[in-house]
Amino acid sequence: MDLQNKCAIVTGGAMGIGLAACKRLLAEGVKVTVWDINQNAIKNAKKELAKLGKVFFYQCDVTNKTQVRKHVKIAQKDMDRIDILINNAGYVSGGGFLDRTIGDWEKTVDVNLNSILYTTYAVLPDMYKRNEGHIVNISSAAGTIGVAGLAVYTATKWAVWGLTESLRMEAINSGKKGVKYSTVHPGYIATGMFEGAKLGIPGRWIVPLVKDHDVIAKAIVEDALKKEKYSPKRPRTINMNLRFRAMMPDRWFQRFLIVMGVEGSMNTWHGRIKN
């Protein structure tokens, strides 16, 4: 996709991966609408982004379908159309399944999965009408394997990958091949929501920490959007999860994950603020 003069919505766009992606999109000449629930983050993002290009800011709770519909209409008015939707808003509540409340897990599902249903449902009719557009959903390395301390988060990220692939097949089946879909799968990032999480020593050699959010932003803009790749992963060695799962007996693969230190990788997690 040629990004010049395209129009994009980025959810969770005032911090982390979202903010880094906005910077790259604006550098490509994209008009950007930033949604975030955090008003202070929006205020800070304005200082960084306003001088970089045409950008609009709105406080939006993406788990509220009414707000999503309202703000999609606003974005269409501000930018004339929506060519790109980056579903980046995310929530992590680490801990054992029984160590958190059902409310924590419901919030995880609402932010990480249900919000994508709401945003996609709102922008897709116009993309289908024009047979043009690209939706990028942020999944995770945890969307390829099970991770202790991230059971519900992992479930949502597996679901995001499956949803995205199914929607791609629907577009093809409907003769809407101009509507593209990608998932992006970050490993543990050294800063931000997953700060402190890390694999064991063998795992860290093979799948090192992602150094910063711009690594993922680059995968979104350069690989998913410009090259239209289906599922970029960072680091690229995350692809081994899929290949080893395919080649190994299930029991061997589960033992391999233990050797990599996956089962204890969240023990040192603290994130931005431990939830």
As annotated, the active-site residues are: 153
Quick one: which H or E segment has residue 31?
A: strand 31-36
Residue 255: how many other CB atoms lie within 10 Å = 12
> Nearest-CA neighbor of 234 among 177, 189, 176?
189
Give dist(CA 115, CA 107) in Å, integer: 10
Q: Hey, what are 189's tokens?
A: 């990032």
Quick one: which H or E segment has residue 254?
A: helix 250-260
Q: Hey, what are 150's tokens?
A: 């991230």
Residue 237: how many other CB atoms lie within 10 Å = 15
